[in-house]
A = this chain, B = another copy of it.
Amino acid sequence: MKELNERIAEAFARIRQEKPLIHHITNYVVMNDTANLTLHLGALPVMAHAPEEVAEMTSMASALVLNIGTLTIPRVEAMLKAGKRASELGIPIVLDPVGAGATKLRTESALRLIRELNVAIVRGNSGEIGALLGLEAEVKGVESVKGVEDPAGAVRKAASLWKSVVAITGKRDFVSDGERVLGVDNGHPFLTTITGSGCMATTAIAAFAAVEKDYLLAAAGGLACFGLAAELAAQKASGPASFKVHLFDELFNLTPEALARGARIVQL
């Protein structure tokens, strides 16, 4: 995937050049981590959820992350407000349906956001995407304990149904725009030992989507970039907390050239 890798590396270089603003309406658990990750990637983070300011904040952003962890009803309303402004202005929305399938509130809120907004990319684990598709899948808290049987088929189906790019992350990540399906093999098991690694992957995708209009490429790029940093970090880690420190350092130090060499993307 020589050409793909180079296009991803170019997008990565653009993030650092353009420093796009990424507006997050996200959960309280990961706010600090995803703000830091945004900075380390080269973009600018802002976290804002007051209904009085979300549309104004979104309008100066280059991407909008909607993440439904620690969700409440007023938060969904703020997401809809920000999302509508983003849709009007052509700003890509990246949705992370954290815990969809675990509770009615999360499943229904995620589906409502997909239905009412022009979502560019959805990223979830196998259980979450499966639950949103109505497939047999199980989410315990925010963990996929029973994923879909055919993730390549599921992302393709979801992408076609929701008219957006869809990613299922796991040992292999699957990304589709409804026609093409890509697999991303970067990553490391240490990612499953820290909280918010899925949310961080979503933020990485949003940073790429802020500078790359081919959202399939943006999703694969964000995941490859994040996963590659994880691989490098794991070599230096002696546990999950030192892994996380190294993960952030590696993301910051990662060059577009290293990404072009290290991204492991396959066409499925």
Query: Which residues of A are interface residues toward B (Cβ below 8 A)?
Result: 21, 23, 27-33, 35-36, 38-40, 44-50, 52-53, 56-57, 60-61, 69-73, 99, 102-106, 140-143, 193-196, 238-242, 244-250, 252-253
Q: Would you mind naming 14 contact pairs between A and B with Cβ atoms under 8 Å apart?
A: A29-B32, A32-B195, A36-B195, A38-B195, A40-B241, A45-B142, A48-B70, A48-B103, A50-B71, A50-B72, A60-B102, A61-B141, A239-B253, A240-B252
Q: How far does the alpha carbon of A207 sit from the alpha carbon of B116 in the complex, in Å? A: 39
With A32-B30, A47-B70, A52-B105 known as contacts, the answer to whether A141 contacts B21 (CB < 8 A) is yes
The 4 closest A-B pairs by CB, nearest first: A239-B249, A46-B141, A241-B248, A35-B195
A39 touching B140, Cβ below 8 Å? no
With A21-B141, A245-B245, A248-B240 known as contacts, the answer to whether A103 contacts B72 (CB < 8 A) is no
Closest-by-CB residue of B relative to A143 is B44
Seed contacts A39-B195, A53-B106, A56-B105; 8 additional CB < 8 Å A-B pairs: A32-B32, A35-B196, A48-B71, A239-B250, A239-B253, A240-B248, A241-B244, A241-B247
Which residue of the partner chain, among B106, B143, B249, contacts A238 with CB atoms under 8 Å? B249
Copies of the protein in its oligomer? 3
Which residue of the partner chain, among B28, B252, B253, contacts A47 with CB atoms under 8 Å? B28
Q: How far does the alpha carbon of A99 sit from the alpha carbon of B47 in the complex, in Å? A: 10
Q: How far does the alpha carbon of A55 sit from the alpha carbon of B247 in the complex, in Å? A: 35
B240 touching A45, Cβ below 8 Å? no
B49 touching A70, Cβ below 8 Å? yes
* Chain B residues near A21 (CB-CB < 8 A): 140-141, 143
- A73, A102, A195 — which one has the most chain B CB atoms within 10 A of its CB? A195
B99 touching A40, Cβ below 8 Å? no
Closest-by-CB residue of B relative to A236 is B238
Chain B min CB distance to A249 (Å): 3
Which residue of the partner chain, among B23, B32, B105, contacts A33 with CB atoms under 8 Å? B32
Q: How far does the alpha carbon of A33 sit from the alpha carbon of B102 in the complex, in Å? A: 22
